[in-house]
Structure formats: C-alpha cells, structure tokens
Amino acid sequence: MRFEIRKMLPEDVPAVYEIEKSCFESEAWPLSDFKELANDDSGIFAALCAVCEGAIIGYICGNCVMGELEIGSVAVKKEYRRMGAARALISALEEMFSPEKAFLEVRESNLAAQELYSSIGFFKVYVRKNYYSSPVENAIIMKKTYGRAAF
Ligand SMILES: CC(C)(COP(=O)(O)OP(=O)(O)OC[C@H]1O[C@@H](n2cnc3c(N)ncnc32)[C@H](O)[C@@H]1OP(=O)(O)O)[C@@H](O)C(=O)NCCC(=O)NCCS
C-alpha cells in the first residue's frame, strides 16, 4: 500500500477531525485547533497528513521551539494501521525540524503507541500521575535525543 506524507491543508481538516474523534472520543482536540494548525505559517507548528489514493489515512501535529520537538497528536485510521504510516509521519516531522530532542506523552495503557515510539528511539523518562481524564490515567512521558543533544 502506497501513501504520501504532505502538509495538512485547510480542506483536509474535516477528514482529519473524523479520525481524531474516532481515536480519542471525548478527549479529541477541538476542530478549531486543526483549522488553526492547517493555516499556521509560523514555522513553529506543523501538521502533516498521510494520504492514500487521495484519502486522508492519518495525521500528525507537533511544534518545535529551540530544537525541542513536541509531538502533540498522531493517529492512523484503523484499516490502515501496521503499514508504517505513523512511523513515516513522525519521520517527516523530524526531517522538517531537525530537532535536538523530542518529547511526547502517551496513556499508560496505550501499548501500541508506546511500542511505536520505542521502535524509533524514544524512551520513558517520567510518569505523570493521573494526567489524563475520561478515564483517569497516568501519562508516560517519552523522550528522544538526536545527534549532539545532551541528556
Ligand atoms: C499508535 C498508532 C498511531 C500507530 O499507527 P500505525 O500506522 O499503525 O503504526 P506503524 O505502522 O507506523 O507502526 C510502526 C511500529 O510501531 C509498533 N506498533 C504499532 N502498532 C502496534 C500495535 N498495535 N502493537 C504493537 N506494536 C505496534 C510496531 O513496532 C510497528 O512496527 P512493525 O509493524 O514493523 O512491527 C495507531 O495505532 C493509532 O492511530 N492509534 C490510535 C491513536 C493513538 O493512540 N495515537 C497515539 C497517541 S499518544
């Protein structure tokens, strides 16, 4: 299955938001956040999509300030998972910003996402107790360092 990674365009937002809602339900980011991201040209925020045969199959949002990349949201449609889309999205974000370090947070029960992040060099650095709601759950903070970054 072939897909391309490209910048999220304003017209992609409805499809992206459908995936966001199906993956994160009550904790989904508001539609307005995606609209802002798709129109942002600050060079700090980035929103990318994975596209297969013209359809949005996944997306990633992140921001990078002073070499520190924060991955905000990444999701792939159920029927397109385990095909490398999330890994390709993260890799594209890394190429875009060439960060020194990256951070993200993930639900403690989300082992699929933790496996994904571990497989590309992230490691667990901290547990933030009861960080998430609906349901209440700990957040695992994961970090990755690149090249010359100091721990
Ligand atoms: C987590 C998620 C983004 C992974 O997307 P994906 O496109 O299926 O991931 P990839 O195909 O790029 O997988 C890359 C690697 O991650 C790991 N991985 C991904 N899904 C996994 C799973 N269900 N179980 C175990 N390992 C998994 C594997 O190491 C995989 O490599 P492999 O397929 O060669 O074994 C996807 O499952 C998803 O959208 N989940 C719901 C939203 C979510 O939880 N987002 C993360 C919030 S922090």
The Cα–Cα gap between 41 and 17 comes to 20
The Cα–Cα gap between 1 and 56 comes to 14
Instruction: Give the tens place of pLDDT for each residue, 18-57.
Output: 999 999 998 999 999 999 999 999 999 999 999 999 999 9
Half-sphere exposure of 107 (CA within 13 A, CB side): 15
| Domain range 4-145, its CATH number among 3.40.640.10, 3.90.1170.40, 3.30.70.580, 3.40.630.30 | 3.40.630.30
pTM higher than the cut 0.85: yes
Instruction: Give the tens place of pLDDT for each residue, 90-138.
Output: 999 999 999 999 999 999 999 999 999 999 999 999 999 999 998 999 9
| Ligand 1 atom with the shortest distance to the CA of 85 | 7
Dump the DSSP string for 41-58.
Answer: -SSSEEEEEEEETTEEEE
- Please list the active-site residues: 105, 117
| CA 81–ligand 1 middle distance (angstroms) | 7
Residue 34: CB atoms within 10 A of its CB come to: 23
Q: Where are the domains of the chain?
A: 4-145
| Ligand 1 atom with the shortest distance to the CA of 88 | 12
Widest distance between CA atoms in the chain: 41
Q: Whose CA is nearest to atom 22 of ligand 1?
A: 112
Q: Whose CA is nearest to atom 28 of ligand 1?
A: 116
| CA 11–ligand 1 middle distance (angstroms) | 26
Q: Whose CA is nearest to atom 40 of ligand 1?
A: 75
Q: Which residue has the tokens 């990755």?
A: 144
